Amino acid sequence: MTPIAADPDRRVWSLSTPNTTYAMHVAPDGRLVQLYWGARLSVDEVVPLTQQRTTASGSSFHLPGDVEEQLPVDGGTRWGVPSLQVTFPGGVRSAELEFAGDTVEAEENGHRLDLAFTDGHFPLHVVLHYRVREDSDVVERWVTLKHLGAEGEEPFVIGRADSGSWLAPERADYRYSAVTGAWAAETQLVREHMPFGEFTLANRCGNTGHHANPWLMLDDGTATEEHGEVWGVALAWSGTWRITAQRRFEGRLAVTAGFGHDGVTWQLRPAEELTTPPTLGVYTDGGFGAASRAWHRHARAYVLPHPEAVRPVLYNSWEAVWFDVNEQSQLEIARKAADLGVELFVMDDGWFGKRTNDRAGLGDWWPNPDRFPNGLGPLADGVRKLGMAFGLWVEPEMVNPDSDLYRAHPDWTIHFPHRRRDELRQQLVLNFGRDDVRAWAHGWLDRLVADHGIDFLKWDMNRAISQGGWPERAGDQDRLWIEHTRGVYEVIDRLRSTHPRLRIESCSGGGGRVDYGILARTDEVWTSDNTDAYHRQSIQHGYSQLYPAAAMAAWVTDSPNPITGRTVPLEYRFHVAMSGVLGIGGNLHEWSSEELAQAREWIAAYKRIRVAIQHGDQYRLGAEPGRGLSAVEYVHGDDVVVFVYHPHATVSPAPGHLRLVGLDPDASYQEVALTTGERGHTATGRVLMAAGLPVRRRVAGGDWSSAAVRLQRIR
Ligand code: DGJ
């Protein structure tokens, strides 16, 4: 079966992934509708569905069919949420799109289908793009709008240009899964009954956002971690966005996803094209766990730039010394980090300009002469002599008004004339839509990386965009909201192409910029500023719904935790951080020699199992983290790693066994002690999945009990 099959006579296109089929149809009334999304079917099985379409009949007040549409426009007899909203010259709205042809193309890593439409009167060309891969269940969609008019003609005003609308098949009920949160409390999983009407997740801050993340999953209310049908939709974009689900009384539910927030408009000029970011969709009948694994596999195969790379163990002194960095003290702590087995040393904020606190210096990207009298060379060389790679924190999009940069270029910031420039964290946002700002940012970043052979940048973004104006583009300044994000992407992409060894971490006040757009150009993300291992469990649980462990930076820091004040044993902190990309962020000068020795052992152990964690399939087991015994399991070839967490001793004893998942039932698995390598108990995959791994003994130690278990398939 080819991944893209078409029946041109009946105007049906069917996209197949290894386990699913997604099909579209230009209905007799000219609307492009979704015909099917679910378990895999052949095109011959799909085509007859055109005859069975049961568009519930409407009234003269509403026609319920528009939820089926792939890109419902604001117009005609549609009163639902539009995915495309255009105002044409003379204030004419109500676009009328007519099918103009299809193209199927084999690409290097997949297959692509383009369905083209044109407006019946105005020269607007709309193409809906689809891409599928042979080994991923994720369907990728995006849209291109083009003004085909001649120079001098009036622009079209685009009020909404979503990347596509997805229809969840009719079910008796619907439930959604999403994440909500805040700074230091990102990605808290919410699983709730889907209300009737319109349900919107959105971000208007200019980053991806702390309070929501651009994805939504749907099920009929009965799916579990390992069973049931789940449909997921995500948007690969790091600026403002909106995802709206509309649940109709007649029994259908559609999700439209797109960049920009409501109210933002884009003037599409003659010959101009507007291409939206990808929206991704996944279907599985294997429950939420299978949905997450499909996302993770897709991210590793088709999103992350270096999925094969094993992420190094990092040290970052932010929580240890905050802004108080200098050559001497960083080298001292670097020695301790190297001694533990750390592979990458990253200096955080405070190394440049007059940046001794958050009130000054952003924008002045040269080493602070008092702190680094001989530049960054001695520290970078010193770190390398210790056998570690060297990384730096940067926040290229920001400027403190108290900086030479702002004094020279106050016009470079995002602002409106006649309006205040509200500061947050004493900083303003540089307009990365401007060519000169991007050229400046690329220039100093390129020199910085080249001059010091920088291996790693932590790219931070610490405030929301406010007063989103671009005075030089008066009349079309809203494009700032799109162009700023595109500008950030462009600078990162250029930097990576000239410095292919460079690795980048995306950060925005913790996990404010985590999405499939930024993951396509960075190697990992800073999940949250909250490093309290207990809170991290729920943050990581929410993160893992969509994003892979290979990109999840997680540090072991001090106890009591500087943000929450909670005291958690070192072992538990390690076990939580080891379930992603392990880093150390504590003040090592204050760790006892015993703690340092333990840390050394855990880091060495992590290196033995990290390939399974970073490249393996992940299974979430047990109760919700923090609500009893929970676990995360990774399976990669013959290697299996399980972290078990039991944060609070309860009146009832902890469960005796934890049933593992994803093993070969007929194979034998032997336990291998993580730190000593000693070989232990053997059991078949069947026993481990049916009866379970004995865990009570391992988590019987009162509060903050945890265990790391390594199993190897031996035959
Ligand atoms: C916010 C980040 O999330 C922190 O890890 C740290 O880099 C600070 N910014 C530095 O200002």
Looking at the fold, whether 633 and 614 belong to one and the same domain comes out as: no
pLDDT at 290: 98
Final residue in a domain of this structure, among 572, 594, 619: 619
Looking at the fold, whether 278 and 392 belong to one and the same domain comes out as: no
Determine the angle formed by the axes of helices 327-340 and 377-385, rounding to 10 degrees. Answer: 20
In a domain, 308, yes or no: no
For the chain, give the mean pLDDT: 97
Q: Residue 607: name the closest of 388, 384, 389, 341 by CA.
A: 341
Residues enclosing ligand 1, CB less than 6 A? 318, 348-349, 393, 460, 462, 507, 509-510, 526, 529
Q: Answer for the pair 281, 243: CB distance below 8 angstroms, yes or no.
A: no
In a domain, 471, yes or no: yes
**CATH classification at residue 528:** 3.20.20.70
Beta strands in 411-531 (DSSP E): 428-429, 456-459, 503-506, 524-526
Looking at the fold, whether 588 and 611 belong to one and the same domain comes out as: yes
Judged by DSSP in three states, 178 sits in strand
Mutational test site, ligand 1, from 529, 557, 563, max ligand atoms within 8 Å of CB: 529
Ligand 1 centre to CA of 510 (Å) is: 7
Final residue in a domain of this structure, among 269, 303, 337: 303
Q: Residue 554: name the closest of 578, 519, 572 by CA.
A: 578
In a domain, 60, yes or no: no
Q: Please state the atom number of ligand 1 nearest to the C-alpha of residue 393.
A: 7
Half-sphere exposure of 90 (CA within 13 A, CB side): 4
Looking at the fold, whether 655 and 697 belong to one and the same domain comes out as: yes
Q: Please state the atom number of ligand 1 nearest to the C-alpha of residue 510.
A: 3
pLDDT at 712: 98
Ligand 1 centre to CA of 481 (Å) is: 23
Looking at the fold, whether 184 and 297 belong to one and the same domain comes out as: yes
pLDDT at 653: 83
Provide the percentage of residues in the chain whose pLDDT is more than 70.
Answer: 99
Q: Please state the atom number of ligand 1 nearest to the C-alpha of residue 508.
A: 3
Q: Is the pLDDT of residue 225 over 90?
A: yes
pLDDT at 52: 87
**How many distinct structural domains can be found in the chain?**
3
pLDDT tens per residue across span 87-120: 999 999 999 999 999 999 999 999 999 999 999 9
Residue whose CA lies nearest to ligand 1 atom number 11:
349
Q: Which residues are catalytic?
A: 460, 529
Ligand 1 centre to CA of 393 (Å) is: 8
pLDDT at 55: 61
Model-wide pTM > 0.85: yes
Distance CA 151, CA 523 (A): 42
Q: What residues make up the domain containing 116? A: 4-53+66-303
Ligand 1 centre to CA of 479 (Å) is: 28
What does DSSP assign to residue 97?
E
Q: Please state the atom number of ligand 1 nearest to the C-alpha of residue 458.
A: 7
Ligand 1 centre to CA of 356 (Å) is: 14
Q: Please state the atom number of ligand 1 nearest to the C-alpha of residue 526.
A: 3
In a domain, 631, yes or no: yes
Residue whose CA lies nearest to ligand 1 atom number 10:
349
In a domain, 58, yes or no: no
Q: Residue 678: which pLDDT band, with cuts at 50, 70 and 90? A: very high
pLDDT at 715: 87
Tokens 């060389």, residue? 381
**CATH classification at residue 692:** 2.60.40.1180
Final residue in a domain of this structure, among 598, 619, 640: 619
In a domain, 89, yes or no: yes
pLDDT at 1: 59
Q: Is the pLDDT of residue 575 over 70?
A: yes
Distance CA 309, CA 34 (A): 38
Ligand 1 centre to CA of 526 (Å) is: 9
In a domain, 555, yes or no: yes
Looking at the fold, whether 266 and 394 belong to one and the same domain comes out as: no
Looking at the fold, whether 504 and 648 belong to one and the same domain comes out as: no
Mutational test site, ligand 1, from 348, 508, 563, max ligand atoms within 8 Å of CB: 348
What does DSSP assign to residue 299?
I
pLDDT at 701: 82
pLDDT tens per residue across span 425-476: 999 999 999 999 999 999 999 999 999 999 999 999 999 999 999 999 998 9
pLDDT at 543: 98
Looking at the fold, whether 184 and 170 belong to one and the same domain comes out as: yes
Looking at the fold, whether 405 and 372 belong to one and the same domain comes out as: yes
pLDDT tens per residue across span 510-525: 999 999 999 999 999 9
Looking at the fold, whether 602 and 629 belong to one and the same domain comes out as: no
Residue whose CA lies nearest to ligand 1 atom number 2:
509
Q: Is the pLDDT of residue 63 over 80?
A: no
pLDDT at 515: 98
Looking at the fold, whether 154 and 274 belong to one and the same domain comes out as: yes
Q: Is the pLDDT of residue 56 over 80?
A: no
Which residues, 6 or more positions from 550, have their beta carbon under 8 angstroms from its beta carbon? 299, 300, 304, 307, 311, 524, 581, 614, 615
Ligand 1 centre to CA of 376 (Å) is: 20
pLDDT tens per residue across span 205-224: 999 999 999 999 999 999 99
Mutational test site, ligand 1, from 324, 458, 507, max ligand atoms within 8 Å of CB: 507
In a domain, 372, yes or no: yes
pLDDT at 626: 86
Q: Is the pLDDT of residue 60 over 90?
A: no
Q: Is the pLDDT of residue 59 over 90?
A: no
Q: Residue 57: which pLDDT band, with cuts at 50, 70 and 90? A: low
Mutational test site, ligand 1, from 208, 462, 525, 563, max ligand atoms within 8 Å of CB: 462
Peptide bond into 560 cis (omega under 30): yes
pLDDT at 524: 98
Residue whose CA lies nearest to ligand 1 atom number 1:
509
Distance CA 185, CA 539 (A): 7
Ligand 1 centre to CA of 528 (Å) is: 9
Looking at the fold, whether 127 and 243 belong to one and the same domain comes out as: yes
Q: Is the pLDDT of residue 58 over 80?
A: no
pLDDT at 64: 76
Residue whose CA lies nearest to ligand 1 atom number 9:
509
Q: Residue 301: which pLDDT band, with cuts at 50, 70 and 90? A: very high
**CATH classification at residue 299:** 2.70.98.60
